[in-house]
Chain A
Amino acid sequence: MKLQFTLATGAAALCLALTGTNATANGHAASCGLNTGEAATGAPIKVGGINGNAPPGDFSGGTDAAAAYFACVNANGGINGRPIDYLVENDQWNPELAGQVATKLVKDEGVVALVGNGSVVSMAVNAGLYKDEDVMVMASGCAISECYESSNIVSTNQGPLPSGIGALTYAVEELGTTNAACIGFNIPNNGGWACDWMEDFMSSQGLSGTSILMDPTAVDLNSVYLQAIAEGADTILLMLPAGPAIGLLKVAEEQGGRDLFTWVSPTPLYEPGVAEVLGDYWNDNLYIHIELAPFDSDGADNQNWVKVMDAYGQPDDRRDTFSQSGYISAKFFVEALLELDAESIDRATVSAAIRGITDAESDLLCAPYYVGDADRHMPNHAGRMVSYTGGAFEVVRDCFDIESSYLDPIRAQEAALGIGQ
């Protein structure tokens, strides 16, 4: 019954998914860590990861990819001979459980860091714990302000704020947007946060922006759509997860609203399988800002991500932006640890090594990744635009950065670190 219910069905689905996104690997074996081809046998290094995988969503792509990469590293010499013991917990979107599993990993297990985290609940609940225990979190799936405004959390994904403003930047510059409606969840550190900064961006451009915030379980999407009409917007920015965004697009399709607005979205709508759900109606009328490289990119890291997932991932692992993000977080983490003396690895040295990451490059990212010692982190704020065309996605603008006063402290950090993006 489940898509991956039988091995055969799972394999078929995997093939379809890969064909659909053209994410097939070229070349030989996956490249990981020291690439010795020999399994690491030393004392394990405990690393944690927390995802949220329960209704209303599965954010496990980041930890799945990190697990696959670490397995590959362990099979290739580990961290100078020491394997990574990757302990993953699921907070099930439950704040109490999120606190419990973080305490278990950080205090009981004594992990040296957390990598690949994809859980908005855990970030909000545990940011203080991570700071108090001085454990660094190299996250992969964040969507709330705490992910980007905490000293000990650094996420590879952009989240809705830069990605949404990126989408609007394109809309303003290429599609003639003058009045945008940001439709987001009525959650202060998510939709409210991102849509407020969208309004700030529009106002900085001398244009109009308005926020339409809805409850996550709102049934009446028709009224949300009608509200956008009543606001006189010419563009709708879908600052929503893929599910409700698709629901809103369906309502718009029902109302013949494709040509009434310019439709743009941050990354969540860039997901394998979205074409099957959207159909042909939205061809050439939906523009999405993507935070990382396209799934079918020929870049070395993107290709290696596919190889790692093929060789070390599970058949039902998600292969989405969070997965790419988890892979690259894990890769940068391993590169930082390989600089350390294997015997000196503990939380203090690992936290220092992570903070010491600067100018880490990957074709998955538009600009170098860095961490630094700061009270907030947002290393990834440049992305690409794709257009939904012929049931697939086509890059319509390559890497570009966003302009927002939200990034002022981030730009100051980059200047201090000598990073020019």
Chain B
Amino acid sequence: MVYGLFLVSGLAVGSLYALGGIGLVILRNSTGVLNFAYGAIAAFSAMFAWQIADWGLPGVVSWIAAVATGIALSVAYGRLIAPSLAWREPAVKAIATLGYMLILLGLIGFIWDDALRKIELPSDKAAISVLGVRVTLTRIIAFTVSIAAVIIMVQYLRRSHTGLNMRALADNRDHAALLGIPIVKTETLAWGISGALAGFTGLIFGSLVRLEPTVITFMVIPATAAAICGRLTSLPLTLAGGLFIGVAESMLTLYKPAAPLRTMAPFVIAALVILWMQRGQKLTFAKEA
């Protein structure tokens, strides 16, 4: 019974990690950028949603604003900064997003002072009991959206024309350009989808965990671990990785000596997955596809 409690609790948090990981993988697949600013975009979106609600506008406007802010911030980077790094190594592209993360974190600190805030969603009040844990509708939404995002994106990448373009870009940017694939348009779309997911994740995260920009920003770490579980390419494996990390973190609570160290779970799991993926291979730093 007690394991069931922690399993359900872990799945709820794991779905947030998975959501973050999915957003990272979608972008990485089509642009080659591992976006470490993902959490900061989510944090900014959540804070802006709070601001909209604080101004007295209807809740639905604030939710839309969260997603729109995520798209705007993500696309802004994708259009203004990312193109000038397009031909650089993947590591350079990733490190550049760290700079964007710091800029956004600084902006958040500049705009909003350090006060107690919360995001309340109507779905926070409705709940069902699963294995003794009261699971709110917000958590169910997070879990459902993470699964839906995987299914929709897998189908989108397989069946749509722009999805095909994204896959072509992911395979080889040079060849895709030579074939006449509209790189900027395709990449902008990927930044937009990723940003929308970041905005949504920030909103849900701000409601379920707490509306603290730093905490939301560094959610990118377990999200990256989830993405690594999916080898930075596979959406279903990223989903599984996120959920597994959440459950492992939760279950470690039951073993008291490990409980204070349970936030190490994403790193340990990601490291083990990397070692597994590297088995029998020579370690290389990075290679342009």
Contact of B6 among A56, A223, A255 (CB under 8 A): A223
Which parts of B251-285 form the interface with A (CB within 8 Å)? 253-254, 259-260, 262-263
Name the distance in Å between B137's Cβ and chain A's nearest Cβ.
Answer: 11
Name the distance in Å between A191's Cβ and chain B's nearest Cβ.
Answer: 9
Given contacts A223-B9, A226-B5, A277-B116, contact A55 B214 (CB under 8 A): yes
Determine the main DSSP class of B at the interface with A.
helix
A222 to B5, CA, bound (A): 10
A11 within 8 A of B: no
A221 within 8 A of B: yes
A108 within 8 A of B: no
Name the distance in Å between B122's Cβ and chain A's nearest Cβ.
Answer: 14
Contact of A316 among B108, B113, B213, B215 (CB under 8 A): B113
| Binary contact readout A216-253 vs B (1 if CB under 8 angstroms, 0 otherwise) | 01111111101101100000000000111011001000
Find out whether the CB atom of B136 lies under 8 angstroms from the CB atom of A221.
no
A242 to B210, CA, bound (A): 11
- Please name the residue on chain A nearest to B116 by beta carbon: A277
A363 within 8 A of B: no
A174 within 8 A of B: no
| Binary contact readout A21-34 vs B (1 if CB under 8 angstroms, 0 otherwise) | 00000000000000
Residues in chain A near residue B5, CB distance under 8 A: 226, 229
Size class of the B contact interface (CB-based, 8 Å):
35 or more
Find out whether the CB atom of B112 lies under 8 angstroms from the CB atom of A212.
no
Residues in chain B near residue A229, CB distance under 8 A: 5
Residues in chain A near residue B205, CB distance under 8 A: 219
New contact pairs (12) apart from A55-B109, A221-B210, A255-B134, CB-CB < 8 Å: A55-B213, A56-B215, A57-B114, A213-B260, A214-B260, A220-B13, A220-B262, A230-B2, A230-B253, A242-B116, A246-B210, A254-B124
Residues in chain A near residue B218, CB distance under 8 A: 217
Contact of A230 among B110, B118, B134, B254 (CB under 8 A): B254
Q: Which of B124, B254, B260 has the most CB of A within 10 A?
A: B260
Name the distance in Å between A391's Cβ and chain B's nearest Cβ.
Answer: 14
Find out whether the CB atom of A256 lies under 8 angstroms from the CB atom of B246.
no
A36 to B249, CA, bound (A): 62
Find out whether the CB atom of A222 lies under 8 angstroms from the CB atom of B212.
no
Residues in chain B near residue A316, CB distance under 8 A: 113
A414 within 8 A of B: no
Find out whether the CB atom of A219 lies under 8 angstroms from the CB atom of B222.
yes
Find out whether the CB atom of B210 lies under 8 angstroms from the CB atom of A250.
yes
Find out whether the CB atom of B112 lies under 8 angstroms from the CB atom of A3.
yes
B111 within 8 A of A: yes
A72 to B209, CA, bound (A): 42
Q: List 23 A-B contacts (CB under 8 A).
A: A2-B113, A3-B112, A3-B115, A55-B213, A58-B113, A217-B215, A217-B263, A219-B13, A221-B209, A223-B6, A223-B10, A223-B253, A230-B2, A230-B253, A242-B116, A243-B116, A244-B212, A246-B210, A250-B210, A254-B127, A271-B116, A273-B115, A277-B118
Find out whether the CB atom of B214 lies under 8 angstroms from the CB atom of A226.
no
A2 to B113, CA, bound (A): 7
Determine the main DSSP class of A at the interface with B.
mixed
Find out whether the CB atom of B263 lies under 8 angstroms from the CB atom of A215.
yes
A421 within 8 A of B: no
B237 within 8 A of A: no
Task: Name A's B-contacting residues (CB within 8 A).
Answer: 1-5, 53-58, 186, 212-215, 217-224, 226-227, 229-230, 242-244, 246-247, 250, 254-256, 271, 273-274, 276-277, 316
Which parts of B100-121 form the interface with A (CB within 8 Å)? 105, 108-118
| Binary contact readout B202-220 vs A (1 if CB under 8 angstroms, 0 otherwise) | 0001000110111101110
Find out whether the CB atom of B246 lies under 8 angstroms from the CB atom of A243.
no
Find out whether the CB atom of A223 lies under 8 angstroms from the CB atom of B113.
no
Find out whether the CB atom of A1 lies under 8 angstroms from the CB atom of B209.
no
Name the distance in Å between B244's Cβ and chain A's nearest Cβ.
Answer: 14
Find out whether the CB atom of B111 lies under 8 angstroms from the CB atom of A227.
no
Residues in chain A near residue B16, CB distance under 8 A: 219
- Please name the residue on chain B nearest to A224 by beta carbon: B253
Residues in chain A near residue B232, CB distance under 8 A: none
Residues in chain A near residue B110, CB distance under 8 A: 2
Given contacts A55-B105, A254-B136, contact A220 B10 (CB under 8 A): yes
Residues in chain B near residue A5, CB distance under 8 A: 111
A193 to B6, CA, bound (A): 28
Find out whether the CB atom of A243 lies under 8 angstroms from the CB atom of B212.
yes
A21 to B74, CA, bound (A): 40
B168 within 8 A of A: no
Name the distance in Å between B44's Cβ and chain A's nearest Cβ.
Answer: 11
